[in-house]
Structure 1
Amino acid sequence: MQGILSIQSHVTYGHAGNSSAVFPMQRMGFEVWPIHTVQFSNHTQYKEGFKGRAFSADDISQLVEGLGNIKALEKCQAVLTGYQGSAEQCLAIEETVKQVKQANPSAIYVCDPVMGAPDKGCIVAPGIAENLLSRLMPMADVIVPNQFELTQFAEMEINTLDEAITACQRALAKGPKVVLVKHLYCLGNDSFYMLLATAEGTFLAKRPHFEFDKAPVGVGDLISAVFTAGLLKGWSAKQAFQHCHDACYAVLNATYQANEWELQTIAAQQEFVEPSKHFPIEEVSLSSKS
């Protein structure tokens, strides 16, 4: 039984972290083996707060050791990581990726480098961003940063499409083969933009932007998961990007139409199989003046 090892946060109520990522990958036909870095009652943006705790790095290592004992790592097609609860967890993930790739050299590592955003403040523990930038992102086959996280990895500001393309090229030069910018907000708030960069080219996706009273949480986790599943189906990065963009739009549309805060992942589940609306992506390149 082949599967995807998904190591990220988990909420009991709603959809964030593994609660946002696991079901869509299952709906696209994959076995998923979740390991939780933290387990909370709900996501952290509720004004009422949340309950729960982070797990130790050793908890992750023990579970991976158990998977290794039953030869499951040999059947692991991909490691997908998201929110980490401590700097030590990053080191456990680094070792996990090495073990998986040793057991199955064809396995890929997809890193969603959650290190926060300026408008939300620092939402990760000390040392996590440093370990993501110096250890996990360079060893990943695919990285899925937001604009802020890309600026940190590429070590440059991003205010224009040209700068975003240049930053992606810098990121590719550091090790990853694919960069998917899950939210490129420098291009404006009238639409929602994502950017894909590979050795074959750079592609821009654009869809309508929903004006939620409270922005849904877990969208980045959803994007990373659907894109990972697309790649494992044997699609090209461009095809997986197109499917991911269309499917995630549909989930957000369903969430908006239902006037809900939590993602309507279950209600919109057929969209992971066959998205109902299509937004063509376009290939972009550096302008001649850059």
Structure 2
Amino acid sequence: MKNVLSIQPHVVFGHAGNSAAVFPMQRLGINVWPLDTMQFSNHMQYGHWAGSAIDPPQMAELVEGIGAIGMLRRCDAIVSGYLGSKAHAQAVMDIVRAVKATNPEAWHFCTPVIGAGAGASVDEYLLETMPALADGLSPTHDTLQKLVGRTIETVDEAVHACREIIRSGPQVVLVKQLVDRNSPADRVNLLVVTEREAWMTQHPRYPFARQPVGVGELTSATFVARRLAGDPLRTAFEHAVSAVHAVLKATYAAGRYELELIAAQDDIAKPREWLGAWAIGAPT
């Protein structure tokens, strides 16, 4: 069984951060070690929340505790998401280095959340450090543009941008909410790129009154879980997008705002509606 250290915020009510990522990975047969960087009553899009962030030194202490009992070497991957301060971001970087020092085969899959209210210093730090340390990145379209410092309007431009980032360190870049001027407005584009492969797929854009939070975390979690299970890049990508679509479909059908992870759990494990991906361009 594979083990994932998931370093993300936690909400008591609803699904965001670890509350959106842990269960899907477990449902896919992954043993998850949640390290909650924040403990909030609910996610911040409600406009009101209670709770607090963990002290960054305590994050390191918790991981050192895992190492002290000899278990850190069993960590196969680290998943990191939203970070509320530069100190939290630095703590994650230190943890990644510590895990890799114990198990060089462990890989780090990072969702660099830029411009989400954490502050300019956090954004700058993530832009400068994450690409070089992460084995995989999962930016939104807007974050991808910030990572390469230019506007991206087409899929081909996005592939070139991803490969530019890959040359700085990561092995794979999964772009969520890719904006392509040639795609229909009622579809959501996703793209995954390595040095040699590029695959794109789409799922329907449901007309939610308020877009659910936690979709990005769900996408990353299912992709990482399937890669750890041995799926090839394309299959893991298709599974992740198909699972996300199933959850969104169930959420919209139920008239809910929070993701229907429990109701759609069988489709997370084995999607009934499989969304295939198609190859984009040739290696550069």
Shift of 1:237: 1.5
Separation (CA, whole Å) in 2 of partners of 1:65 and 1:2: 20
Q: Matches of residues 15-34 of structure 1 in structure 2 within 5 Å?
A: 15-34=15-34
Letter in 2 for 1:108: W
Distance 2:224 2:117 in 1: 24
Percent identical residues: 41
1:80 corresponds to: 79
1:172 aligns with 2:171: no
Counterpart mapping for 1:161-240 below 5 A = 161-186=155-180, 187-240=183-236
1:32-181 aligned at under 5 Å gives the runs 32-47=32-47, 49-116=48-115, 122-181=116-175
Taking the aligned partners of 1:270 and 1:96, their CA distance within structure 2 comes to: 33
| Corresponding residue SS for 1:183 | strand
CA distance in 2, matches of 1:35, 1:275: 28
Checking the alignment, whether the CA contact within 8 Å between 1:25 and 1:225 is kept in structure 2 is yes
Question: Does the 8 Å contact 1:86/1:126 carry over to 2?
Answer: no
Corresponding position of 1:255:
251
Cα distance, 1:189 vs. partner?
2.4
Aligned CA-pair RMSD: 1.3
Query: Deviation of residue 188 (structure 1)?
Result: 4.7
Verify the 8 A CA contact 2:174 2:193 in the aligned structure 1: yes
Q: Tell me the distance in 1 between the aligned counterparts of 2:186 and 2:263.
A: 26
CA distance in 2, matches of 1:130, 1:10: 24
> Does the 8 Å contact 1:55/1:85 carry over to 2?
no
In the alignment, what sits opposite 1:273?
269
Counterparts of 2:2 and 2:135, CA distance in 1: 19
Deviations 1:232-285 (A, max 9, x none): 001112111010010110000000000000000111011121101012111112
Q: Are the aligned partners of 2:2 and 2:228 in contact in 1 as well (CA < 8 Å)?
A: no
Residue matched to 2:242: 246
TM-score, L = length of structure 1:
0.93
SS in 1 for 2:46: coil
Shift of 1:158: 0.8
Q: Distance in 2 between the 1:37 and 1:128 partners?
A: 15
> Which amino acid letter does the alignment assign opposite residue 193 of structure 2?
A
CA contact (8 A) 2:154 2:179 kept: no
Kept after mapping to 2: 8 A contact 1:156/1:167: no
CA separation of 1:69 and 1:170: change in aligned 2, threshold 3 A: same
Relative to structure 1, the CA distance from residue 56 to residue 35 in structure 2 (aligned partners, 3 Å threshold; closer, same or farther) is same
Kept after mapping to 2: 8 A contact 1:193/1:205: yes
The SS at the match of 2:44 is coil
Q: Which runs of 5+ in 1 are unaligned?
A: 117-121
Contact 1:87 1:126 in 2 (8 A): no
Number of equivalent positions: 280
1:196-236 Cα shifts (integer Å, max 9, x gaps): 10122111111111010010000001001111101100111
TM-score after normalising by structure 2:
0.95
Q: Secondary structure at the match of 1:45?
A: helix
Structure 2: unaligned runs, 5 residues or longer? none
Deviations 1:44-101 (A, max 9, x none): 1114x11111122112111111111111210001000001121011111111111111
